[in-house]
Structure 1
């Protein structure tokens, strides 16, 4: 069953980035720009620039929604660019999953005329040529210190750095060395090309940062053509300028890098490589979500140590993980819009994300019955060969979606907690002598139960009232407080159901540098053999349902097969976690 019903989109909220863009549009800051063919460019061009060294996570989703959303709302373009300048850590597998994840979230880089998909590695020849220009203009030099010597000479926040003894090399000498680096004459780390700025700068990022290093490694796209690779902080502004980016939006940790971003573009503009106005970098607060970690290193540790079942484990905060869990792209977009965009760090509680998810799923998900912890209910006075049809709405708030029909027979499955031998105070479900309504069916009265040799209840017995069926006139004659769900034992669909919960029991699992694995939630996954309403055997991968009383569930996109479904719990109907503090 397809779930095509869309939730209403959230209206874009105002934020400081929208204010900047609207001011630029009002003043025409980027109105006169043209591409290489003289065609006018959009006044808003953003980009999402992941490094293909891992799987994207929920934090990246905020950046994706922000960059693509701004371009969409201001009739601009958003580019997908892979900053693939570190061959030792990057793989085609990560490129492929990033492309798939951005598409799944609902965004595209095709503006109808061009595919705005770019790779920093395509710019390697230009990045090299610009580095040669910087050397010739006296803005860069080849340093031959060891890595340890450079670190020691860099100083710290209280101590200015010391000039390298190679800083006075002539441009001709540095250029000759740089070309020999390019030719592969040196080993990794023997030389590095550095920008010549100010070793005494209070901003550590301006203390002659490296812009090219030697690395003899196979690149997933360029193969072995290069043995020197540009640094990210050098590549990033140049890539933005080459792509005519207007608003380069980064997270706050890049704020101190902005002066170098500007320095690179100003120097290259002086050399005639770029025209003004140049791209400008703006920073916003990254997404900090409680009960989750987003460190690629720690996520990799979870995978490699088999604490989770791969990058797409439904408990992982990766986009492939939350997709497999059953989240919808609309819920992620709505969440990112709701939390807003600010310049100050804060924590967003997981309950906020889950609340938006429930809001999105509620109007979309058809209803169904499922018994997760089955207990046999035998209606002793129901004829053994009789099978009667019951019906219920596909969705209680949308009658136009029709009804679903399912059988009731003598033996049913009910939830084991719908029966108590000795009822607690306020318990209104089955116990000896009490009446309940079988949801959408008959009223029954509990008459007894069976136990095995260990004292475990194995079956509950009851009598039904033939004139009490829901939807008939006689049903009004029966007033009961309890209402339980059920499935016919002879007709139910058996299925594996995975009850997922938060991966961590602590809202800040890696706070203070502690071992985040100590905060793992031992109840983050439970696998049960459940009985489902007939018809669910036809569920297709990623079909979502509300299992009444239990929550929202999705047919697993990897393991579920027609006729043999596997369901993941997406989220419970109500939040059972207290809001996190701090």
Structure 2
């Protein structure tokens, strides 16, 4: 059989060529998130690209926070980003880096640009600046402040730094070309006044560099060799290179762009994700329905599955939408191999084995996984009273129904065969329990031994099990492209994205499961013990994913 070709990664080829030719001696990449929200599935791809390439070529990857916009940033986001990267299985080189650590050097370089006649202080308002900037089809106009003398610009820049002007009163702009076809080269802003306390530098600064100015210079300071961005930064590359050419930097990083990861039924706009949090549509950034890494972790997605998914998608120059079913396949495949099996009854109905001694109990020893001996065995109590799922019993049914029916037999998973005798009802006609007869000598018997059963159902002993809460999660949006289908994002919220089921019945071994432990609840799906809410007193499990894809068959 021919081996499948490795996923596409054009960056791998570029780096290999750079090393082979001697253009680079060591690979240094960086992951530069802005700490203004939690990381999402798209960032998982960027993390896997930057850290993965460094790993593949024996290099290093820096973590550098692009903290140039303190109004929207918070220490909570810094902490969560570091936690996400570690959880995915990566470690940055050395200490955490911050753009704010370079503020003095960046300011000195801004002074250098002014001294060389490459930057000027501009007084245009934001509206005026937009008007002067022109359009994609019309050249911009020079600012009336563009020809200020070097001395005046230096004096005004120093006054900006000293806090002598109000927010928005002045900006420092690079002097490039107001007629450039690339809008990013039309005298872009380098510094703006923001009298806001910074989470790292406190009140030391009241002017802050823009991302475009800080990015390339941060790369140069850290000796980054391959500055890898998503494709929307392609038009920013000429500006990235312009700054490096006009500043006395020692290193010469190169920027490369790849197609960002977008998945169906998902949004990755931080603004819109924040709206979901602020409007209480979800229960925080780490709600298991969110596409954030923290949310996916709490949902029960595994680092190995996310990394595998990013690898399956490949790294190319093209943007596109990846079917979220590919992600779900990666999760399901990983959990099928690695998750121990267990039994949980979501809607309990009591079964009484009328021919089983009332005072007798026994313990069954069964494998934790059908194909993984290394996962060991588990013990299941068994007695006269059991719990089965209410959907697994009918008084009458056609031949297609393979579960428990009056006068018919089914096998209890890992146990014996039973036959339903009578349904016991309350005064309103609701079935409250089912009397069954245990078929003697069928524990552990293979169906080929002669005693036949119509199907197999799961169960939990009444005397050994415990109640638990199950949170049944589904996709947050019921539209394939919620970002583009309507201006009203909320109209695409899936009203059944969360169903909380109380009083589910779990086998006793699940009670002491550690938070974030994964299980396949047989015939139900893959579940994880909630990261925060699960305890032995109040077991809480989240549905990670079903045993199979149900969306296509449902017409969604």
After TM superposition, the score normalised by the length of structure 1 is 0.92
Tell me the equivalent position of 2:167: 188
Q: Distance in 2 between matches of 1:303 and 1:178?
A: 39
Choose from 48, 59, 74 the match for 1:91.
Answer: 74
Tell me the equivalent position of 1:229: 208
Q: Distance in 2 between matches of 1:579 and 1:29?
A: 53
Tell me the equivalent position of 1:521: 494
List aligned pairs for 1:539-554, cutoff 5 A: 539-554=513-528
Alpha-carbon offset, residue 417 of structure 1 = 0.9
The 8 Å contact of residues 27 and 58 in structure 2, kept in 1 or not, is answered as yes
The 8 Å contact of residues 351 and 579 in structure 1, kept in 2 or not, is answered as no
Q: In the alignment, is residue 274 of structure 1 matched against residue 257 of structure 2? A: no
Q: Distance in 1 between matches of 2:37 and 2:554?
A: 28
Alpha-carbon offset, residue 442 of structure 1 = 1.5
The 8 Å contact of residues 8 and 316 in structure 2, kept in 1 or not, is answered as no
1:307-327 CA-partner distances (Å, limit 9, x unpaired): 111111111111111111111
Distance 1:364 1:159, change over 3 A: same
Q: Distance in 1 between matches of 2:138 and 2:327?
A: 44
Tell me the equivalent position of 1:215: 194
Q: In the alignment, is residue 24 of structure 1 matched against residue 18 of structure 2? A: yes
Question: Per the alignment, in what secondary structure is the counterpart of residue 51 of structure 2?
Answer: helix
Choose from 435, 438, 441 the match for 1:461.
Answer: 435
Tell me the equivalent position of 1:360: 334
Alpha-carbon offset, residue 490 of structure 1 = 1.2
Q: Distance in 1 between matches of 2:366 and 2:344?
A: 14
Q: In the alignment, is residue 335 of structure 1 matched against residue 309 of structure 2? A: yes
The 8 Å contact of residues 538 and 563 in structure 1, kept in 2 or not, is answered as no
Alpha-carbon offset, residue 469 of structure 1 = 1.5
The 8 Å contact of residues 540 and 562 in structure 1, kept in 2 or not, is answered as no
Question: Per the alignment, in what secondary structure is the counterpart of residue 140 of structure 2?
Answer: coil
Tell me the equivalent position of 2:147: 168
Q: In the alignment, is residue 377 of structure 1 matched against residue 348 of structure 2? A: no
Tell me the equivalent position of 1:38: none
1:363-416 CA-partner distances (Å, limit 9, x unpaired): 211111110111111111211111122232111102343322212111110011
Alpha-carbon offset, residue 453 of structure 1 = 3.6
Question: Per the alignment, in what secondary structure is the counterpart of residue 535 of structure 1?
Answer: helix
Distance 1:154 1:83, change over 3 A: same
Q: Distance in 1 between matches of 2:300 and 2:543?
A: 8
Q: In the alignment, is residue 402 of structure 1 matched against residue 367 of structure 2? A: no
1:222-257 CA-partner distances (Å, limit 9, x unpaired): 111111100001110100111111110001111111
Q: Distance in 1 between matches of 2:486 and 2:189?
A: 29
1:191-229 CA-partner distances (Å, limit 9, x unpaired): 110000111111110110000001100000111111110
The 8 Å contact of residues 544 and 554 in structure 1, kept in 2 or not, is answered as yes
Choose from 111, 115, 135 the match for 1:156.
Answer: 135
Q: Which runs of 5+ in 1 are unaligned?
A: 1-9, 32-42
The 8 Å contact of residues 468 and 476 in structure 1, kept in 2 or not, is answered as no
Matched pairs, number: 552
Q: Distance in 1 between matches of 2:17 and 2:483?
A: 40
Q: Distance in 1 between matches of 2:411 and 2:206?
A: 74
Tell me the equivalent position of 1:197: 176
Alpha-carbon offset, residue 361 of structure 1 = 1.3
Q: Distance in 2 between matches of 1:184 and 1:108?
A: 39
Question: Per the alignment, in what secondary structure is the counterpart of residue 491 of structure 1?
Answer: coil
Tell me the equivalent position of 2:545: 571
Alpha-carbon offset, residue 421 of structure 1 = 2.3
Q: Distance in 1 between matches of 2:214 and 2:31?
A: 14
Distance 1:402 1:191, change over 3 A: closer
Q: In the alignment, is residue 59 of structure 1 matched against residue 50 of structure 2? A: no
Q: Which runs of 5+ in 2 are unaligned?
A: none
